[in-house]
A and B are shown apart, each in its own frame.
Chain A
Amino acid sequence: MIFKVLPKNGLEALFDVLSNNRIIGPVEKARGKNGKILYGFDRICRFENLRLDYTTTTHSPKKFFLPYKEVLSTFILSGRTWQKSVDYNAHQPHVFFGMHACDINALNKLDKVMIESVYPNPYYAAKRRNTFIVGIDCTPQPQCFCRSMNADTVLHGFDMFLTDIGEDYFVEIQTAVAYEILKSVITKEPSAHDHALFMKTVDAKKEKYSCQVDTTDLTKILDMEFQAEVWRDWGNKCLSCGTCANVCPTCYCFGVQESVDLDLQGAVKKMHLYSCNLFDFAEVAGGHNFRPKSHTRLKYRFYHKHRGFVEAFEEPLCVGCGRCGAACLADITVPEVIASVRKEAQGNG
């Protein structure tokens, strides 16, 4: 990895260089009930609107890669035959200015399913490959348990990553494109002092986590406690609304629907993101539902993320961003659910 140091007053210059493209970044969206600022990723045209000091965004940047609704294909119908056309819906590159490590890690996890798999998803791949990511370090929030999920730092999947070391940004350069772009702004080589400042920032961040999850032997615990009563308790709280999946940076379940145009000349096939907590998620034709109870669906979500995915990829499908817990209308949080199941296994349930 190549490192540079970018003086803070050079940030706008970097933004300007990148602004030949469509820039997506954290912006202030609204104020919550308690007056807290709510942030979101959106298109940014002016540097002043960029809020690199954002805590976390309510929604993850997932929607730019896996839109909530997307046209997969369109058909022209003529008599008994038809023609299908496919568009991957990636019409221009996106520059993400200011993505936290957890969200980049989330994309890396999605890559495993969407790209590095038997049938790569071209809709996702087209958008992911045409993305330039500038990462930014963050301050752990009360709901963040990314450190427990090994997602507090990110090793790949971005172009450059900025860490605030006081007067400057410490820049990790991951790609050649990023290196070329940095040539047009003023940077300097990092000194031993800069390295020390970087390490100091990293160490200080470690101290700021207030939330954690013990994942030791979690896959086994989940298997042992599959029938545990505690799942029913969580199921009784859960509203099966799917909000957790909506805000989750790694949830990718979807459904496909087709419809015929009103003039009967064409048809369209659309995907829409779904949630395994919604009632009919595992319903099959004929009406049989494999997970009819609320707790079976909630449990499945945890099994997919913290057992099944670990079995397949040796890492959980969770980056510990805490968005699901923050957004949950029933106040169900991942650390609490996992702790309760662990307690059950220890015989203290």
Chain B
Amino acid sequence: MDKPIPFNDIISGGMGSLPGEDLAGFEYSYLAEITNIYPLTNTDKLYQVQLCDPELRRSFSFKPGQFVMLELPGIGEAPFSISSSPIRHGDIELCIRAIGNLTKFLDRVKRGTQVGISGPFGTSFPVEIMEGSDIFLLAGGLGIVPLRAPLFNILESRSRYGHVDLIYGANTPEKLLFTYQYDAWRKFDIDLQITVDEPDEDWEGHVGLITGILEKKLAGRKSLAHNAYAIVCGPPVMFKFVCNILTEAGLPMQRMFVSLERRMHCGRGKCCRCNIGSTYICLKGPVFDYWSVMNLKEAI
């Protein structure tokens, strides 16, 4: 025996690869171009991103609540919720706050910059099963970003849903996102309520937490045990308070959906950075029903 052990060429899918296994699906990114940048607040911008390959652009689809990994070579890669309509095949919209290395760099780039996009990854809000029911959309701060995708779903087929409440709270009026769309949403019969924690002189709307508005809404209302769903997005501390109010109003835990945020380094269920227990937020989430979250230690 003078021959070395044969080299299994896994790249060409030769010896030993499992059926249906896609090894090329791990480290890739689609070349994409930033087509538009809209400043929304001092720190947040809405980036419209278009995949460069027309074929990919046509086939790329996602579900509300899913995220993509955005990569800038040499700077970094991070997960971002897709904030645009899952139905209309336009540019992907990502609302990004300049807060870390990559996002502060993104804050300075111009239209036409090429980035890498991989995904979509993760679970989604099951908007189909919510049809025919009343919907509570509850967002705090940046939570409006992932929540905007299922909102688009609802707007596109508004008649299929019952009463739709959208309660959105931010720290200050300047931090409110997508202010230019509020009238349009209201026109589609979305019961939109906005609140801030710290008002400025010009603020005439609600002041306080979204839980206050939610409690008022639910007061005197029939139990939510049937015919209602809720989507809750916001900082971890918000989930507990909001979901407790909804639970008391009779809404079953498996009809409340939340989107969790964690640091991710791969987005593909390998790096463990987003793990809670052994649950990968990137694979089993980011969208969970509240029952699943209750069973994850330290999730919220």
Stretch of B4-12, B128-136, B176-184, B213-221 on the interface side: B4-12
How many inter-chain contacts with C-beta < 8 Å in the A-B complex?
Answer: 181
Does A21 lie within 8 Å of B5, measured CB to CB? Answer: yes
Cβ proximity bits B181-205 to A, threshold 8 Å, 1 near / 0 not: 0000000000000000000000000
A84-B116, A120-B22, A267-B74 given; A17·B278 CB < 8 A: no
> Which positions 69-104 of chain A face chain B at CB distance < 8 Å?
72-73, 75, 77, 80-82, 84, 86, 88, 90, 92-93, 95
The number of chain B residues with a CB under 8 A from chain A is 58
Q: Tell me if B31 is interfacial: C-beta within 8 Å of chain A.
A: yes
Complex Cα spacing A291 to B236, Å? 13
Give Cα A312 to B156, complex, Å. 38
List A contacts of B17 (CB < 8 A): 125, 129
Contact indicator B265/A122 (Cβ below 8 Å): no
Q: Is A308 an interface residue (CB 8 A)?
A: yes
A234 at the interface (CB under 8 A from B): no
Residue of B nearest to A227 (CB): B297
A92 to B71, CA, bound (A): 30
A80, A119, A184: most-surrounded residue (chain B CB, <10 A): A119
Kindly identify, within residues 260 to 276 of chain A, every residue whose CB is under 8 Å from any CB belonging to chain B: 260-261, 266-269, 271, 274, 276
Write out the residue numbers on chain B whose beta carbons fall within 8 Å of the beta carbon of A229.
none
Q: How far is the CB of A251 from chain B (nearest CB, A)?
A: 9
| B73 CB contact (under 8 Å) in A82, A90, A281, A311 | A82
The listed residue (A120, A260, A286, A296) touching B74 by CB distance below 8 A is: A260
Contact between A122 and B270, CB atoms less than 8 A apart: no
Minimum CB distance partner of A90 in chain B:
B10
Scan residues 1-59 of chain B and give those whose CB is less than 8 A from a CB of chain A: 1-8, 10-11, 15-18, 21-29, 31
- With A81-B114, A84-B73, A267-B74 already in contact, the answer to whether A282 and B263 are too (CB < 8 A) is yes
A42-B72 Cα distance, complex, nearest whole Å: 37
CA distance A112 to B178 in the complex (A): 43
Interface size on A, residues (CB 8 A): 76
In the complex, A90→B23 CA distance in Å? 14
Q: Is A329 an interface residue (CB 8 A)?
A: no
Q: Mark A99-127, 1 if CB is under 8 A from B, else 0.
A: 00000000000000111111111110110
Residues of chain B contacted by A117 (CB below 8 angstroms): 269-270
* Cα distance, A119 to B186, chains bound together (Å): 41
Nearest B residue (CB) for A268: B74
* 30 pairs of residues in contact across A and B, judged by CB atoms under 8 Å: A20-B5, A81-B31, A88-B11, A90-B10, A93-B5, A93-B8, A118-B269, A119-B26, A119-B269, A122-B27, A125-B10, A125-B23, A253-B272, A256-B76, A258-B74, A266-B74, A267-B73, A269-B71, A269-B77, A271-B271, A274-B271, A274-B272, A276-B275, A291-B298, A300-B275, A303-B278, A304-B275, A307-B277, A308-B279, A311-B278
Using a CB–CB cutoff of 8 Å, the interface residues on chain A facing chain B are 17-18, 20-21, 72-73, 75, 77, 80-82, 84, 86, 88, 90, 92-93, 95, 113-123, 125-126, 129-130, 132, 177, 180-181, 183-184, 223, 226, 252-261, 266-269, 271, 274, 276, 281-286, 290-291, 296, 300, 303-304, 307-309, 311-312, 317
Question: Assuming A121-B26, A283-B263, what are 10 further A-B pairs, CB within 8 angstroms?
Answer: A93-B6, A113-B270, A118-B283, A122-B26, A184-B1, A254-B265, A256-B265, A258-B72, A290-B298, A308-B277
